[in-house]
Amino acid sequence: MVFVQPDNDPIFGSLPAEAKTWLEGLPWEERRYVLSLCHLMSASPPEIQADFLDDYTADGLVYRVIQDQDTTQKVSTYLQKFHISTELTEAVLRGYIRQFYIHTAQDARQQPDLYLESALRLMISSQERKSVFSYVLGFELAKLIFQMSWAQQERLYRLQVSQEDFIRTYIKPIRHAHRLNNIIVPKDEEQFFARRAYYIHRPRIRAKRLIELVMVTFTSEAVSNLGFDIIRTPKSFHFDYNHIYAPEPIEAIFD
């Protein structure tokens, strides 16, 4: 049976040439398998799609990602600079690819077309696979900021060139999550210059809970953008560990 491709078909028109050639050459029996898979994927919730894509693609993606030694070394250097102990082992990258699928699946509730599109780009584009590193770096940094006291967060955002953008994009959502989850409960907020105990309290959040909070607070795109900006333009993010984590002065605490 000869496969007849409709003129100006939007689906086939968007496929790579190799994919179109392969699809056109499939015998009838195998075309049924393709259609069955398309049906099952489209009918499944995003979380089920994430599990399938993880099982089907993650091992191959990890192998291809770790071949990019330059970006691996660059991100590892940033993690060390931020005093983050995470090492980019195969197991860590494998876990992050799965997490990326799940995180994007959550975003898909608001943008249904985003999820599978992102997964497909990740598989076929070497440039897109670099986004795994952006996601890892952005997520690790988001976790770090989540665990800072509000005083430490203030010292961090004051180091940034675009302070208002940084506050709006990262600090405010994290502080909202702190309040919402009773991680930090502000007192005397009406006193602008008050520095109560809550302001210098450094949250202690279990690892699993911390991941959940970051994923609920930020979209996968926001996390990736944070990492991407740092990788692309190192001076876009300023970090001084000794300044941010300097001991709090005694006068900052009063009951």
Taking only the tens of pLDDT, the chain with its 255 residues reads 445 555 566 777 777 788 788 888 888 888 888 888 888 877 877 667 767 777 777 777 777 787 888 999 999 999 999 999 999 998 898 889 888 878 887 775 555 555 566 666 666 666 667 788 999 999 999 999 999 999 999 999 999 999 999 999 999 999 999 999 999 988 766 665 556 678 888 999 999 999 999 999 999 999 999 999 999 998 899 999 999 999 887 655 444
Helix (H) or strand (E) holding 154: helix 150-157
Note the pTM of the prediction, 2 decimals: 0.79
Same domain, yes or no: 34 and 66:
no
Cα–chain center distance at 36:
31
Same domain, yes or no: 5 and 34:
yes
Strand, helix or coil for residue 67: coil
| 147 DSSP 8-state letter | T
d(CA 67, CA 36): 34
The single residue listed with the structure tokens 């693609």 is 57
| 202 DSSP 8-state letter | P
State residue 33 phi and psi, 5-degree precision: -65, -40
| Total domains in the fold of the chain | 2
Same domain, yes or no: 27 and 52:
no
- The overall longest dimension of the chain from CA atoms, in Å, is 83
State residue 230 phi and psi, 5-degree precision: -70, -45
Q: Residue 5 is part of which domain span?
A: 1-43
Same domain, yes or no: 78 and 151:
yes
d(CA 213, CA 216): 5
d(CA 7, CA 80): 54
Same domain, yes or no: 119 and 18:
no
Same domain, yes or no: 27 and 49:
no
